[in-house]
Amino acid sequence: MKHHYWEAPIVIYLFLGGLGGGIMCLTAIMSLIVAPGTGSLFFVPMFIALAALAVGCFFLVFELGQPLVFWRVWTTATAIIKWGATLLVIAMFGDIFWLLGYLDVLPLDWGFLGAIAAVFGGGTPVFATIAGIAGFGIMVYTGVMLSTLKAHSFWATPALPVLFTISALSTACAAIALSLGIFAVPTIANLLTIEVIHEIIHIVDIILVCAEITVLLIMILSFLGAGNVTQKAVARRWVKGKTAPLFWLGMIGCGLVIPFFLYVFGADSAASTVVAPVLVLCGGLLLRYLCVYSDERAEIPGENRYYNRTADPHAEFVEHWTYGENMY
């Protein structure tokens, strides 16, 4: 029997949640510590982060099965999802107030935008800090949510939150690099700043890609060498089973190795500024897909005996039985 604990909506939520949280975290670091005063350059990335979290929340609520009573997650004391939902709300409100403080960067001749920006502009460092801290929590939470499910031994490893956090930061770097390359308007005043930020983002993403490959290979090798039966089965399927093409060609090849070489040997080219970030984003999505659909769980005591005692759905007496008329 095959049970999927979660389906495609959770894959999308984990990807978008990590992406949005990573963008918020990196934006806070870049605009407050690395390059203070450059917050306006991150308006589009922060808007993308807000949209990613909003869409991710939709898929999460949809997966719960009863979207109209989603608020009940806050009434269950032991629900791990409650902490993730709280972080999502805090991060989204912090992001919204931060965006309000930079509305004057929009190329629109609407006077009220400047008035709103003047009201919220003084608090942008505080809003960025709140969004950044909550965003970091969301990145870690996307891995913790899976690792707390002890019955699913492939998920129940401390390496998974580390892997998801590194992947979230890497995809966030890719999204920021893409948005700066496409939407940032270079001027005499900010041209050098944009180039420096772009270079920093690329260097950070190279480090993160190397770290992701290292953590991923350590996790797979540890499962193959010292994991339990379920962990070994999933690891073998990743390495040489039916999902091996997605793992080697999709996630490792296109999602990590090719972007690494494009970043290193194709600096300042279209390949490193457009192709590599897109491949990193695809690799992050594939990682979460493979993890969510590798959810073989440990058997519940007595489960096999129960299912072995139930009738075969294709047995003759079952196929010939009709309501109100039993032929046997």
Global pTM value: 0.87
Closest CA to 144 of 171, 166, 164: 164
Residue type, position 232, single letter? K
Cα 326 to Cα 319: distance, rounded to the nearest angstrom: 11
Residue 109 near residue 80 (C-beta atoms within 8 A): no
Q: What separation in angstroms does the CA of 42 have from each of 47, 48, 183, 193, 278? A: 9, 10, 10, 12, 19
246-298 confidence digits (pLDDT tens): 999 999 999 999 999 999 988 778 888 899 999 999 999 999 999 988 866 55
Confidence bin at 225 (pLDDT 50/70/90): confident
The pLDDT of 7-29, averaged and rounded, is 94
Domains of the chain and CATH, by start? 8-298 (1.20.1630.10)
Q: How far apart are CA 254 and CA 59, in angstroms?
A: 26
Output the six-digit token pair for 215. 């953590």
Going by C-alpha positions, the residue among 213, 233, 214 that lies closest to residue 224 is 233
Q: What element of type H or E holds 307?
A: helix 303-309
Cα Rg of the chain, angstroms: 23
Highest mean pLDDT range out of 6-20, 74-88, 286-300?
A: 6-20
What pLDDT, in 10s, does the model give residues 120-160? Answer: 999 999 999 999 999 999 999 988 888 887 767 788 888 99
Which of these, 203, 207, 267, lies nearest to 34 by C-alpha position? 203
